[in-house]
Amino acid sequence: MVKVEVAQNQFAEEAAKRQTNADKASARVGGNSTIQSTESNYGGYISASSNQGSIISEGNIASVQTPKNKRFFMCADLDTTRINRDVQKYVEEIIQHLTSVDGAKVKVSLEVQAEYEEGFNQQTVRTISENCRTLRVRESGFEE
């Protein structure tokens, strides 16, 4: 047997807990949140939305729905003594995941900057310049 008053009090306490959880979750998302609550005999759900995303909470479980991420970019400095290892790590851990997405357009660039106070000798300048032309490097050059 279930007493109606006890059951109603229990439902009210559970609704208050869900409202408190939704308030905490909306505070994490940011201000300007609108909270709507729907109750049923089997428990309710609370949904909150704001400019930064939406929160859907069932009982004590809350998840944040974020906007779609449409563009990725990255820039990393490589250790010249371990360049092969570093590049391989970036390929395996990042680039491979990006290229595995159907329809994704992935562009990988390499930027090299070098300085030498005494000035690079003519042999080095000629070798690097010829290699850049052979490899069809988009832009390259030496400056004083």
Q: Is the same domain home to 92 and 56?
A: no
In the chain, the largest separation of any two C-alpha atoms, in whole Å, equals: 97
Residue 97 lies in a domain: yes
What DSSP state is assigned to residue 102? T
Residue 96 lies in a domain: yes
pLDDT at position 26 is 59
Cβ distance 57 to 47 under 8 Å? yes
Residue 72 lies in a domain: no
64: number of Cβ within 10 Å: 14
Q: Is the same domain home to 47 and 23?
A: yes
Question: Could you read off the pLDDT of 77-88 as tens digits, one per residue?
Answer: 889 999 999 999
User: In which residue ranges of the chain is pLDDT below 50?
Assistant: 31-52
Q: Does the reported pTM lie above 0.85?
A: no
Structural domain count of the chain: 2
Q: Is the same domain home to 101 and 130?
A: yes
Question: Could you read off the pLDDT of 19-43 as tens digits, one per residue?
Answer: 777 676 656 555 444 444 444 444 4
Q: Is the same domain home to 87 and 129?
A: yes
Domain range for 103:
80-134
Q: Is the same domain home to 97 and 56?
A: no
pLDDT at position 95 is 94
Residue 71 lies in a domain: no
Handedness of CA 15, 21, 23, 29 (dihedral sign): negative
**d(Cα 46, Cα 4) in Å, to the nearest integer?**
24
Q: Is the same domain home to 50 and 98?
A: no
